[in-house]
C-alpha cells in the first residue's frame, strides 16, 4: 500500500508536508523553551500561569482570524448579492 501512496502524492505535496512539519516542530521547540524559561524563573506554578497566558493569546489570535474571515466572506456575499 505504501508505494501506491507515494505515486499519488506529488513532490510539491511532499515539500508542503515537510514545511508544515518544520513549522510545527519549530512551534513545539518555541513552547518548550518558553516553558523552560518560566520554570527557571518560578517553578511549576509559574509554568502553569505562563501556559494559560500562551493558550489564551493563541485562542484570541484564532478568534480574531475567524472574525476577520467571517467579515470578508459576508462582504463578498453582499457584493455578490448587489451584482445579481
Q: Is the pTM of this model over 0.85?
A: no
Number of other residues whose CB lies within 10 A of the CB of residue 38: 20
Residues 27-48: tens digit of each pLDDT: 899 888 888 888 888 888 888 8
Number of domains in the chain: 1
Containing domain of residue 55, as a range?
2-83
Residues 53-76: tens digit of each pLDDT: 888 998 999 888 888 888 777 777
CA pair distance 7, 78, nearest whole angstrom: 43
Amino acid at each position: 500500500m505504501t508505494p501506491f501512496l507515494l505515486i499519488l502524492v506529488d513532490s510539491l505535496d511532499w515539500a508542503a508536508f515537510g514545511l508544515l512539519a518544520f513549522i510545527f516542530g519549530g512551534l513545539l521547540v518555541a513552547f518548550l523553551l518558553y516553558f523552560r524559561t518560566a520554570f527557571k524563573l518560578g517553578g511549576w506554578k509559574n509554568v502553569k500561569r505562563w501556559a494559560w497566558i500562551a493558550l489564551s493569546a493563541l485562542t484570541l489570535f484564532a478568534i480574531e482570524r475567524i472574525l476577520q474571515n467571517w467579515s470578508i466572506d459576508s462582504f463578498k456575499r453582499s457584493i455578490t448579492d448587489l451584482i445579481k
